[in-house]
Structure 1
Amino acid sequence: MARKTRLVGTLGALVVAFVGGWEGLRLVAYKDIVGVPTVCYGETLGVKLGDNHTKVECDAMLLSSLQRHEAGMRKCLKAPDAIPEKSYVAFVSLTYNIGVGAFCKSTARKRLDAGDVRGACDAATWYTRAGGRKIPGLVNRRSAEHELCLQGL
């Protein structure tokens, strides 16, 4: 049975452009802000310093990773298909950035399950720290996700 995804067509293109824009593209692996080897659009899974990729490889890696994160997000939501499209993209972006485990334990997920999408959009803005400190780039990203999330309502 095929894995359920909403990241196809226009919605898939929107999430790739949105997340890719925030993550930025680095073709050679580097250490991120907390010292984790990272490459392409923020990929960390199996990455070693010195790894090199082409843009085409990075684009494919991003879509695959977004679909994995989406699948994890969907598993912990009661009604993922009830979430409006732009709000859904914002939550996939959040999940990609903070991880499936953190999303599934979050107040945002709890509010989504209670049918409070606006409250979930608001709660998603709380994830602005890395390495114990507030990061301006994360504040800006959460603000953009929040704006997109509210457009879905």
Structure 2
Amino acid sequence: MRISKRVAAIVAAGAFSFAAPVVMQFEGLRTTAYYDPIQIPTICYGHTLTATMGESKTIAECDQLLQDDMRQTLSGLAACVRPELQPNQWAALVSWSYNVGAGAACGSTLMRKVNAGATPDEWCPELRRWVYAGGQRLAGLVRRREAELKLCLGS
């Protein structure tokens, strides 16, 4: 996968090293395909794009999928985030967008605030609004958003 210079710079700044543990913790590793809480076929660390029920992957394949998915997520975000952000802020956005999708992330109020020049104290708390899946508030998403918020604010 070819990545832009901006994405490469963000990766080099350490955003992935901050984001990967959050993604891994909250997605969990499952080497056999399963249905997520809203019945989407999923495998490995929350990979949904090509997951099919009955499929299995090795840990090495899951690790590669995670890297590829995180790069794709970051590329999607880099296309819609205009200001320069700190690595911890990128990491929080990558984890969030990995979960909700770059399209939803880029079209969100949170992203409008980021691009309007709001301070992290103003836009990071928007993460707390993203705790619903399939119309239901999920405790796991509440915990994940709190972890992403702390990462975003650097605390």
What SS does the corresponding residue of 1:28 show, helix, strand or coil? strand
Higher mean C-alpha deviation, range 1-10 or range 63-72: 1-10
Residue 129 (structure 1) aligned to one of 106, 116, 132: 132
Higher RCO by CA contacts (8 Å cutoff, separation 6 or greater): 2
| Residue 83 of structure 1, CA deviation | 0.7
RMSD: 1.5
CA deviations over 1:67-96 (Å, ceiling 9, x no partner): 1011001111222xx111111100011110
Q: Which moved more, 1:47-56 or 1:111-120?
A: 111-120
**Residue 9 and residue 63 in structure 1: after superposition, are their counterparts in 2 closer, same or farther (change >3 A)?**
farther
Q: Runs of at least 4 residues of structure 1 off by over 3 A? A: 8-11
What is aligned with 1:3? 4
TM alignment of 1:49-128, pairs within 5 A = 49-79=53-83, 82-116=84-118, 117-128=120-131
Q: Give 2:77's aligned amino acid.
A: M
**5+ unaligned residues in a row in structure 2: which ranges?**
none
C-alpha displacement of 1:61: 0.6
Q: Distance in 2 between matches of 1:17 and 1:9?
A: 16
Provide structure 1 residue ranges, at least 5 long, that are not aligned to the other structure. Answer: none
Deviation digits for residues 32-75 of structure 1 (CA, Å, limit 9, x no counterpart): 10111000000001111011111111011101101101100111
Q: How many residues align?
A: 150
2 CA distance for matches of 1:59 and 1:86? 21
2:24, 2:13 → 1: CA distance? Answer: 16
**TM-score of the aligned structures, taking structure 1 as reference length:** 0.92
Correspondence for 1:36? 40
